[in-house]
């Protein structure tokens, strides 16, 4: 296991070990080296290792027991959504199968959120969605458009008023922001997407739940097709 840079923090220790686990290089049941040995191997201090291991335990990736050290858990049976960031993007590339699963779930969640948002949105949220749709249509820069796209969906989910949807979105956000450039295809050729953003915003504003759901479902599907088409 190679050392990590001198600027490393507990967060980086966590990500390095998590990648080893989800990649299979550390298999379920494997015992991790003692924390002092890990610190030496990774080139960091003990405090960073302790915090990193604590996060691994919280993510249900390792089991820490007195007298038995640290053992790797089966992330497929025990892991949560926070594992996605380590599964989807590896070595600077998106895993096609994981990306397909993520975008399938994303589309279903956003369509359901749009229906709820049309029923529950505030006047300010409806106004903000319209504004973001207009900004997306006019934005020439893809990187800036990604920020607007994320903001559009964040407002939509907030307007839905569903706590579970919000927590799931937070997990997907971490994956998205960690590998932002890999997801750039979802906002390219915005002239084709602009009417869908506008239609979704308008339907939410008019409290037309069925139309809002249909518009967001179509928008999310178009974005998924663009991304997955690049991965084939």
pLDDT tens figures, 128-187:
999 999 999 999 999 999 999 999 999 999 999 999 999 888 877 777 777 888 899 999
CATH number of 83-231: 1.20.120.530
Phi and psi at residue 109, to the nearest 5°: -65, -45
* Dihedral angle of Cα 142, 164, 103, 25, to the nearest 10 degrees: 100
Share of the chain above pLDDT 70, in %: 93
Q: Quick check: 7 pLDDT over 50?
A: no
Q: Residue 3 pLDDT > 70, yes or no?
A: no
What is the 3-state composition of the chain as percent helix, strand, coil, each rounded to the nearest 5?
Answer: 75, 5, 20
Q: What is the pLDDT of residue 8?
A: 46
Looking at residues 80-108, what average pLDDT do you find? 79
Burial tier of 145 (Cβ tally within 10 Å: 0-12, 13-18, 19+): buried
Q: What is the pLDDT of residue 12?
A: 79
Q: Under DSSP, is residue 185 helix (H, G, I), strand (E, B) or coil?
A: helix
Question: 29-43, 52-66, 166-180 — which is least confidently predicted?
Answer: 166-180
Assign a CATH topology to domain 10-79: Arc Repressor Mutant, subunit A (1.10.10)
The mean pLDDT value of the chain amounts to 89
- What is the residue extent of each domain of the chain? 10-79, 83-231
């Amino acid at each position: 296991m190679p050392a990590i840079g001198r600027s490393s923090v507990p967060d980086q220790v966590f990500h390095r070990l998590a990648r080893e686990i989800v990649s299979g290089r550390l298999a379920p049941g494997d015992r991790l080296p003692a924390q002092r040995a890990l610190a030496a191997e990774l080139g960091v201090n003990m405090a960073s290792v302790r915090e990193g291991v604590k996060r691994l335990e919280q993510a249900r990736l390792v089991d820490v027991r007195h007298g038995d050290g640290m053992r790797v858990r089966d992330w497929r049976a025990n892991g949560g959504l926070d594992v996605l960031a380590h599964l989807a993007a590896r070595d600077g590339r998106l895993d096609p199968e994981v990306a397909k699963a993520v975008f399938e779930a994303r589309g279903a969640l956003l369509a359901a959120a749009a229906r709820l948002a049309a029923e529950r949105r505030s006047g300010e949220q409806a106004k903000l969605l319209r504004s973001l749709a207009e900004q997306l249509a006019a934005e020439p820069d893809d990187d800036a458009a990604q920020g607007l796209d994320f903001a559009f969906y964040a407002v939509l989910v907030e307007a839905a008023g569903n706590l579970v949807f919000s927590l799931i979105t937070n997990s997907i956000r971490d994956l998205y922001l960690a590998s932002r450039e890999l997801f750039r295809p979802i906002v390219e050729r915005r002239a084709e997407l602009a009417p869908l953003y506008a239609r979704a915003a308008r339907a939410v504003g008019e409290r037309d739940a069925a139309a809002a759901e249909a518009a967001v479902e179509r928008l999310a599907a178009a974005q998924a097709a663009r991304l997955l088409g690049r991965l084939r």
